[in-house]
Amino acid sequence: MKTTNRIATLASLTASLVFTACLGSFEPPSSLMQQDTVEYQPDVVVGHDTTPSVHVDTSVAEDTMSSVDTTQVIPECSTNDDCNDGEPCTGDFCNPAGKCVHPPILDCCHDDSNCETWQHCNADAQCDDGCTVNADCDDGSICLEGKCKRWFCDTDNDCDSSDYCWNQQICEPVQCPSYGRDPQCVVSAEVKDHECLETFKTNGTPCEDENICTLNTVCFSGRCDLSLWANCDDGKECTNDYCDPEVGCVSEPIINGACSPP
């Protein structure tokens, strides 16, 4: 072994040095002067990795904590027929989201109390003036010319809007244009709320009253009026002169008084 040889050599050299010290000068044999060549080899440490191994779990576990609502949503309706609520005064519609909607219907009635006094609530839930017999009407109304008419009244509101309460007794039709108005002097006439609403031509507008005894007739407040009466005076004292609308000027003799025959 190389280590053993080095120890033996060192022991021999030590003994020689001790002997020389005793004898004085000493020269070691050449065999001992050889340089001890020690072969150096670096230590190679061979070891094992003792670091604990790390295991990476690449598997994905199923999430059992979260839940998905799988409840099926059933639409309330698919057609309008599915939404009939039995209420006559609401619409029945199925919207695109499958929900029933019921908008109110205007001018709808449940019974006669929802209508005017001269009307009745028909089978279509509409206030109706129409009738065929008195039984179709209510509240003292009668069926007159196919319409429910209130006959007896206390105020205009007891009558149809086209009627008025005459003398606080009887419903009568509103005359329109009003009595005495001349159509050629009226621009418009409309019955509304128990009265006749009229618009007349400008006063002084020429008109024709079809009377041969009047001249230069003009409109005034809806009437053909303010005309000049025909002058039929013949200048004779014993005649009665006048204008007859049928024939025109007439002169009748006076046979009494100063005009008596001789």
Q: How much is the pLDDT for 23?
A: 46
Q: d(Cα 64, Cα 69) in Å, to the nearest integer?
A: 14
pLDDT along the chain (262 residues), means of 10: 49 47 48 48 48 51 56 84 86 90 84 75 79 73 74 82 84 87 92 91 90 89 84 91 91 87 77
Q: Please give the sequence-ordered ranges of beta strands (E in DSSP) within the chain, or none if there are none.
A: 93-94, 100-101, 120-121, 127-128, 141-144, 147-150, 163-166, 170-173, 186-192, 195-200, 214-215, 218-220, 223-225, 228-229, 239-244, 248-253
Classified as helix, coil or strand, 222 is coil
pLDDT given for residue 215 in this prediction: 86
Residue 185: the pLDDT is 93
pLDDT at 62: 55
Count of CB atoms situated within 10 Å of the CB of 20: 13
Q: What is the pLDDT of residue 24?
A: 47
